Each structure stands twice: as C-alpha cells, then as structure tokens.
Amino acid sequence: MATDETTEVLYGVADHVATITLHAPERMNTISGPMLAALSQRLIEADRDPDVRVIVLTGAGRAFCAGLDISAQASGSGLQVAGNPGELDLRDAPPTVLHNLDTPTVCALNGGAAGYGMDLALGCDIRVAGESGKLAAAFTKRGVLPESGGTWLLPRLVGYAKAAELAFTGRTLTAKECLELGLVNRVVGDAELAEATRELALEIAANAPLAVRATKRMMRMAETETFEQNVHHVFLQLLPLFRSEDFREGMTAFLEKRKPEFKGR
C-alpha cells in the first residue's frame, strides 16, 4: 500500500481503492486553506491514476469534518474570499473537483459532518455512515450559506421542500434520520464502518473500470440534459467500450461462468 502522511490529508492506495483521510483530529478535521489545497490535489491524483478504480473519503478521529476552521477564520489565517468577485476561481476547489471526477467516490461518514463537511459528504456518489454519523446544515446558524455545493446537491437528493427545511433551520440529522431521507446509503456500527466501506469499494472495483467511469460520467451529464440528449451521448460512450479488452473479457467470463478479470483496457 502506497502512503504519504506528510500533510493534513493522508493518501493511500490498495487493491484499486484510494483512501483519502482528512487528518486533523485535534480540531475535528475542520477545513483549513492548506487542507483544501491538499484535498483537491489528492482527488485529482487519484482520478488520474489508472490503478485507482474507487476513491474513499473519510476523516480521522471522532468526526468526518466539522466545517471551516473557525479559529483560523477569526484570526485571518483561514480561507480568504477574493476582494474582487472577478478574481474568484473555484475550478480547483474540492467541491468542484469532486463533482467532476469520473472515478466513483464513497464517503465513510465517521461522526459529524457540518457545513463544509456536510457538502463534501453529499458531493460523494455514495455515503456509508457509522451509527454516530451526523449531517448538520449549520450554515445559517453561522451567518453563511451552503457555499460548497449544498444548494445544488441537497434539493436533488431530498427534494426542494425538505432541502429548504433543512437548510433554513440549520438542523442536525442523526445517521438514522439521514438513512430515512436517503442522504446515506446505509448505516453500520461505528466499529464496522471502515470494513463495510471497503467491502463496497472492492465490489465496485471488481467491475470494468472504463464502464463504471463512463456510467458515472453519463449520470452526471444527465443532470442537465434532456432524455434524448443523454441517450445520444450514452451511445457514443458505448462504441469505444465495445472495442475494449474489458468488454471481451466480460463476455468471455459470462460464457465461461467465471469471475472476470478486468484490466481497464
């Protein structure tokens, strides 16, 4: 397993699964400027690595991410907003990078995810929560709005009316409530979270990576396309897959009644 532990964002790859861990447990993984830069870098690195088929995002300690580092913000050393709106460029910000990845992403929600942390969790394709997991849309309680994708993500996940209720009240949801609303895919015991997430990631990684990435790409494009546009784009994605080694392997394995061994080619 390749690992780099030199920053507040840990990174490791094993069995085609990249694990990215927010690593500032002493402050509940609240977001700092350097952490954001490192997170974007690691997400891009994982997406470009042909050996990586799934990305798992989690936090160290008792929280996933408790939002922005308030103490850093108060001291002026935290995240800075450009004085001129024309200078604002969010193309390399983690929420934008996360949304544009073709590699599937799974959030292992260990403990609380508030504000920015909630948006990061919602930005992943799939969420597995430990029993102590929580999602807190606490933006309006802090005098801000869901600035990192929440206003786009939350209504699509739970519908406009429920999203409005959660965002306007700044309510905190337990793991069970998140499951009932469809904000997480499953809830497991805290001690089982890492293994349950890994099992899911390995199940995804066992499939043909080119096909999985194409499926995710088409689902993302469907958010803004008509049915006819999406069907057309899906067909164009299908043609190169028909010519891939993995397609031949998938068909051969099916006929031979064995598990396929995909190479990503």
Tokens describing residue 65:
């991410």
Q: What is the mean pLDDT of residues 207-220?
A: 95
Contact by Cβ (8 Å): 186, 179: yes
- Give percent of the chain with pLDDT exceeding 70: 90
Q: Tokens 């997406």 label which residue?
A: 47
Tokens describing residue 242:
């028909």
Q: Which residues contact 173 (CB under 8 A, 6 or more apart)?
A: 134, 135, 136, 166, 181, 183
The confidence score (pLDDT) of residue 5 equals 47
Q: Which residues contact 200 (CB under 8 A, 6 or more apart)?
A: 106, 126, 128
Tokens describing residue 151:
């206003």
Q: From 2.60.40, 1.20.120, 1.25.40, 1.10.12, which CATH number describes the 209-256 domain?
A: 1.10.12
Tokens describing residue 89:
């460029």
Q: Looking at the predicted structure, is the pLDDT value of residue 82 above 50? A: no
Task: Work out the pLDDT band at 263, boundaries 50, 70, 90.
Answer: very high
Q: What is the mean pLDDT of residues 133-140?
A: 89
Domain boundaries, the chain: 2-205, 209-256
Q: Tokens 């002493």 label which residue?
A: 26
The fold of the 2-205 domain, in CATH, is: 2-enoyl-CoA Hydratase; Chain A, domain 1 (3.90.226)
Task: Work out the pLDDT band at 148, boundaries 50, 70, 90.
Answer: confident
Taking only the tens place, the pLDDT of each residue in 174-194 is 999 999 999 999 999 999 999
Is the pTM higher than 0.85? The answer reads: yes
Q: How far apart are CA 63 and CA 57, in angstroms?
A: 12
Q: Looking at the predicted structure, is the pLDDT value of residue 6 above 90? A: no
The confidence score (pLDDT) of residue 14 equals 96
Beta bridge partners of 56: 19, 106
